[in-house]
Amino acid sequence: MKSIASAPGKVILFGEHFMVYGAKAILCSIDKRIKVTSQVIDERKIKIKSDLGNVEVDVDSSSNNSINLMKPFVYLATRTLKKFKKNGGIEINIESDIPSGIGLGSSSASCVAAAASITGLFEKLPKEDILKLAIEAERTIFKNTSGADCTVCTFGGLAEYDIKNGFKKINSKVDFNLVIANSKQSHHTSEVVEKVKKFKDNNKELFTSLYSQESELIQNALLALEKNDLSTIGSLMSKNQILLEQIGVSTDRLDLLLKEAKKTSFGAKITGAGGGGCIIALVDKSNIEQTLTNLKNHDDVFSSKIDYRGLLDTF
C-alpha cells in the first residue's frame, strides 16, 4: 500500500527573523506543492528518493547521521517503524514544485507532507499531530525554527503566527497575486538565523528598536489586510524590507530584483530567511503583467496565488 500526502510551500508576507524572538508574523501558503509517497518495504532500510539525490539508511544503525537534508525523513520513518514495531523498512519518494533553499518553505512543506505520508501507512492522525511531528523532524536540521513555516504549510491560507499564541487564520477576503523572483543565491535558513542572532547580541538597543518598529508595522498590515487595501499592504512590505536590510539579510542581488519589482508592484521585499532566496512583489491584475515583464531578465520569475487547502492526504 502507498500513502500519499502533499503540502504547499509558503511565503512570509511580514515578520521573518523577528518572529524567532516572539514578534507576530503574517504568512501565506502558495499554490506550489511538495508531494511525498511512502510505502512499506521488506528490506530493513529507509530509502529516500528526491531531487536532492537518493539516500539509503539502515533502520537499525543507531545514529541519524544521514546526509543533513535527509535527516527529517529518516527521523520520521525510524520513529514510525519503532512505534508500530515493524520489521521492514520504508521507501519515501519526494516530488517538488518548489526548489529547495530559496525561502519558499520547501523544507517545511516536505516535513509536513512526509509526516502525513509516513504515519499514514499505519494510522490517520489529526493535522495538529502531523504538525507536531513535522516540527520535530525539521528541528533535526534547524534547531531554532519558530515552527511558523510548518504551521502554515499544514493549515494553508493566510495566517498570523507568533511563538506564544501559535497560528490564527486571517479570514478577510484578500485578493492579490504575488510575483516571486528567485535570486538563485542559495542559502541555509539556519545559518542566516544564526547570523541575525549575532547581530542582535552585538546591537541590543538597535535590535529592540527594529523589533518594535516591526511589531507596529504588522498591526497596520493586519488592518490593511482586513480592508484588502493593496496599496497600503505593499508600502508596508517595502518598509519591512528596510528593517530586514538593517539586520543584514539582504544582498546586492536581492536589492537589484527589489528595485525592478518596486517599479510597478504595490511593494516588495525578500521572503523567508534572506541571504539569497526569493523576493516577493504584491500585485493584482492591474500590474501583474508589467511586474513579470520588469523581472523577465531573471528566468526564474513566476506568479502565485494563496493556497487555501494546506496539507492534503490520500491513504
Q: How far apart are CA 98 and CA 32, in angstroms?
A: 6
Q: Is 229 labeled as catalytic in the residue annotation?
A: no
Taking CB under 6 A as the rule, does residue 304 contact ligand MEV? Answer: no
Measured from the CB atom, is 241 or 287 closer to ligand MEV? 241
Longest dimension (CA), the chain: 59
Side-chain half-sphere CA neighbours of 31 within 13 A: 10
Total residue count of the chain as it appears in this document: 315
Rounded to a whole number of angstroms, the minimum distance from the CB of residue 108 to ligand MEV is 8
Quick one: which of 309, 277, 308, 288 has its CA closest to 107?
277
Interaction residues for ligand MEV, span 129-148 (CB under 6 A): 145-146, 148
Taking CB under 6 A as the rule, does residue 110 contact ligand MEV? Answer: no
CB-based closest residue to ligand MEV: 146
Grid cell listed for 171: 479570514
Q: Which of 193, 278, 283, 292 binds ligand MEV (CB under 6 A)?
A: 193
Interaction residues for ligand MEV, span 13-52 (CB under 6 A): 16-17, 19-20
Rounded to a whole number of angstroms, the minimum distance from the CB of residue 34 to ligand MEV is 15
Measured from the CB atom, is 143 or 305 closer to ligand MEV? 143
Q: How far apart are CA 23 and CA 17, in angstroms?
A: 9
Q: How far apart are CA 197 and CA 207, in angstroms?
A: 10
Quick one: which of 111, 32, 38 has its CA closest to 81?
38
Rounded to a whole number of angstroms, the minimum distance from the CB of residue 189 to ligand MEV is 5
Grid cell listed for 175: 485578493
Measured from the CB atom, is 190 or 290 closer to ligand MEV? 190
Set 149, 162, 307, 313: catalytic member: 149
Interaction residues for ligand MEV, span 218-277 (CB under 6 A): 272-273
Supply the residues annotated as catalytic.
149
